[in-house]
Amino acid sequence: MSVELPDGPVAAPVVKCPTGIRGLDEITEGGLPRGRPTLVCGAAGCGKTLLAMEFIVRGAHDLGEPGVFMAFEETEGELIANVSSLGFALDRLVAENRVALDYVYVERSEIEETGDYGLDGLFVRLGSMIEEVGAQRVVVDGIEALFAALPSEGILRAELRRLFRWLKDQGVTAVITAEQGARTLTRHGLEEYVSDCVLFLDHRVRGQVATRRLRVVKYRGSRHGTNEYPALIDKYGMSVLPISSVNLDHRVSRERISTGIPRLDDMLGGQGYYSGSSVLISGTAGAGKSSIATAFADSVCRQGGRCLYWSSEESKDQILRNMGSIGLALQPHLDKGLLYYHTVRPTLYGLENHLVSLHKLVSEWRPDAVILDPITNFAAIGDAGEVKLMLTRVIDFLKKAGITSVYTSLAQSSSPAQLEETDEGVSTLIDTWLLVQMVQAAGERDRLLSVLKSRGMAHSNKVRELLLSDQGIDLVDVHTDSGQVHTGSARLAQQVRDEVDTRVRQRGSESQRRERHDLVRQIQSLQARLSELEQDAAIASVEESGRHGD
């Protein structure tokens, strides 16, 4: 049964006002509702004032929309000083009459009541500032201070509705900040109902690591992201990180890029990784994961590409020294600006902040390849589910950007079954998976490498020995004998034995060949002698016949 909708005019979509805050406009599909009030609520320290201030500054500086900022807790001088560390030249915008600041001092003990409480004075004050700068954006920061001393709940509700209606009537895009309540989003529990859009900021601490997250609680007349999104405050202001893609619609490349190890290229169809693909190198400690990843970084830079190397275990100088011992000279790439190291302990801040930092590095530096070495350390600041979600976003983000990404993962066990698993749970998202492991035999430890999978290309199913020396990285065929795999000195010894056996066989064959040759020569000599004797006998017979005839 089909239902026909009645014909009639289609309502115009909600007009959006870009905030200029990285990521927030993407989550809200264009920005905040233009000409309507938006409530930003949360506990102390979650970033409400900063979000509101950045909304004003970005609008005035980048989008040509002057603004008014009215505060009830910080003076004009304090506001200017506080945001200067973020690079916001608020004093210059005020001097250029593009932003108006106002501090309203409200103290209950100093208020003398002479009638009903009203906001008429506030409306006059705000209206004057809006007219003075031609404001299109307005912020009222800390609204609970305005109503904290009200004795009547009825008056509070009436005046709140009146304030929100007045802001709508002015045609300005307003942001109102409010403190989080004990059981409601705000202390009074009304602001979220009369606002057209509500943003909730959360500042939580888990495992001694603090993280900020943002959620769009509601947005009248518009679609919006409904998840919790990581939010980061740094020297550039606030960033909100949406999930990069949910439709798996990123483009793929058929171009190939060398691994930096010729025989590994051969194992991957002769050409290496697909450009823009994801590569996981997992294995036990000391098996050579970082060396293989660095060989790829060296290959990218040698071809003129740019590589971002994210290290959470070693400093840049330590990596340069260690990789130099296996023939990888990386300093020239650094000098040319082709290689960039970002070295940071995962416990410095939360998973979300790491994710936002990676986004910023990629956006600013625009690499062709990214290496995360290792991803295992993120387990120190999140459970398995959180780490998997974070890495899923990283893999998806880099794939969508067409950046080849390499991840190293430490295996906690050397058992064959557990080697083919990862604690991070991202192996199913990976395009190419290399496994390196240490094996112990004949009193030594040797490295083995195999390709567990490589989507979209023919690849070797052979296990090869990984050799690290001052001449570089190489892969050699292992030696198998009666089902046994020989590596290291055992492989060399077996190769010597095989060579001796081959030479013995060759010598035996050579001796037989010479003997046969001698016999053939003797036969040929006898045959020649026999032919001569037969010729002599024939001649003698003719001569004898002649004598009898005479």
Question: To 10 degrees, the CA torsion angle through 505, 511, 515, 520?
Answer: 70
Q: How many angstroms separate the CA atoms of 392 and 244, rounded?
A: 10
Q: Band of the pLDDT at 109, cuts 50, 70, 90?
A: very low
Task: Give the number of C-alpha atoms closer than 13 A to the C-alpha of residue 399, restricted to the C-beta side.
Answer: 23
| 21 contact partners, CB below 8 Å, separation of at least 6 | 51, 54, 55, 58, 237, 238, 239, 240
Q: What are the angstrom distances between the C-alpha of 15 and each of 18, 35, 136, 235, 378? A: 10, 8, 14, 31, 41
User: Which amino acid is it at 77?
Assistant: G
Q: How many angstroms separate the CA atoms of 272 and 404, rounded?
A: 12
**Of the listed ranges 110-119, 197-206, 259-268, 503-512, the one predicted with least confidence:** 110-119
Mean pLDDT of 255-272: 92
Burial 330-367 (b: 16+ CB within 10 A, else e): beebeeeebbbbbbeebeebbbbbbbbbbbbbbeeeeb
Residue 317 φ/ψ, nearest 5 degrees: -65, -35
Q: For 278-291, how does the pLDDT look when each residue is reduced to its tens digit (9 = 90+)?
A: 999 999 888 899 99
Average pLDDT, the chain: 81
How many helices (H) and strands (E) the chain has is answered by 16, 24
Q: How many angstroms separate the CA atoms of 303 and 258, rounded?
A: 10
Angle at 548 between CA 545 and CA 549, to 5 degrees: 85
Going by the DSSP 8-state scheme, the letter that residue 135 receives in this structure is: -
Going by the DSSP 8-state scheme, the letter that residue 431 receives in this structure is: S
pLDDT exceeding 70 applies to what percent of the chain?
79
Per-residue tokens: 95: 């001097």
| Strand-pair partners of 162 | none
Task: Give the number of C-alpha atoms closer than 13 A to the C-alpha of residue 135, restricted to the C-beta side.
Answer: 28
Q: Where are the alpha helices (DSSP H) in 170-207?
A: 191-194
Number of neighbours of residue 542 by Cβ within 10 angstroms: 9
Per-residue tokens: 138: 């307005």
Q: How many angstroms separate the CA atoms of 299 and 472, rounded?
A: 13
Instruction: Say if residues 293 and 371 touch (Cβ distance below 8 Å).
Output: yes
Instruction: Say if residues 221 and 13 touch (Cβ distance below 8 Å).
Output: yes
Predicted local distance difference test score (pLDDT) of residue 356: 78
Q: Where are the alpha helices (DSSP H) in 137-242?
A: 144-147, 153-169, 191-194
Q: How many angstroms separate the CA atoms of 451 and 74, rounded?
A: 60
Going by the DSSP 8-state scheme, the letter that residue 259 receives in this structure is: -
Q: How many angstroms separate the CA atoms of 545 and 101, rounded?
A: 147
User: Which amino acid is it at 22?
Assistant: R
Predicted local distance difference test score (pLDDT) of residue 183: 59
Q: Which contiguous run of DSSP H or E holds residue 533?
A: helix 488-549
**Of the listed ranges 229-233, 466-470, 522-526, the one predicted with least confidence:** 522-526
pLDDT of residue 416 exceeding 70, the answer is no
Write down all domains in the chain, each with its CATH number in brackets.
16-240 (3.40.50.300), 256-491 (3.40.50.300)
pLDDT of residue 8 exceeding 60, the answer is no
What DSSP line would sit under 40-92, residue for residue?
EEESTTSSHHHHHHHHHHHHHHHS---EEEEESSS-HHHHHHHHHTTT--HHH
Q: How many angstroms separate the CA atoms of 140 and 221, rounded?
A: 23
3-state helix, strand, coil in the chain (%, to 5): 40, 25, 35
Q: Band of the pLDDT at 264, cuts 50, 70, 90?
A: very high
Q: Band of the pLDDT at 162, cuts 50, 70, 90?
A: confident
Residue with the larger pLDDT of the pair 196 and 209: 196
pLDDT of residue 319 exceeding 90, the answer is yes
Q: Which of 248, 173, 244, 178 is nearest to 217 (CA)?
A: 178
| 211-220, long-range: CB < 8 A, 24+ apart | 211/349, 211/350, 211/351, 211/352, 211/353, 212/46, 212/47, 212/352, 213/352, 214/24, 214/27, 214/240, 216/27, 216/28, 217/185, 217/192, 218/192, 219/28, 219/33, 220/14, 220/33, 220/36, 220/196
pLDDT of residue 331 exceeding 90, the answer is yes
Q: For 113-153, how does the pLDDT look when each residue is reduced to its tens digit (9 = 90+)?
A: 444 556 778 888 899 999 999 999 999 988 877 766 555 66
Q: Band of the pLDDT at 67, cuts 50, 70, 90?
A: very high
Report pTM: 0.67
Predicted local distance difference test score (pLDDT) of residue 440: 79
Angle at 511 between CA 508 and CA 517, to 5 degrees: 140
Mean pLDDT of 236-249: 67
Residue with the larger pLDDT of the pair 543 and 92: 92
Q: Which of 260, 254, 247, 264 is nearest to 302 (CA)?
A: 260
**Is-cis flag, bond preceding 230, omega within 30?**
no
Q: For 344-377, how does the pLDDT look when each residue is reduced to its tens digit (9 = 90+)?
A: 888 777 777 788 788 889 988 999 999 999 898 8
Q: How many angstroms separate the CA atoms of 307 and 341, rounded?
A: 9
Per-residue tokens: 115: 């009638």
Q: How many angstroms separate the CA atoms of 103 and 2, rounded?
A: 59
| 42 contact partners, CB below 8 Å, separation of at least 6 | 48, 179, 180, 200, 201, 202, 203
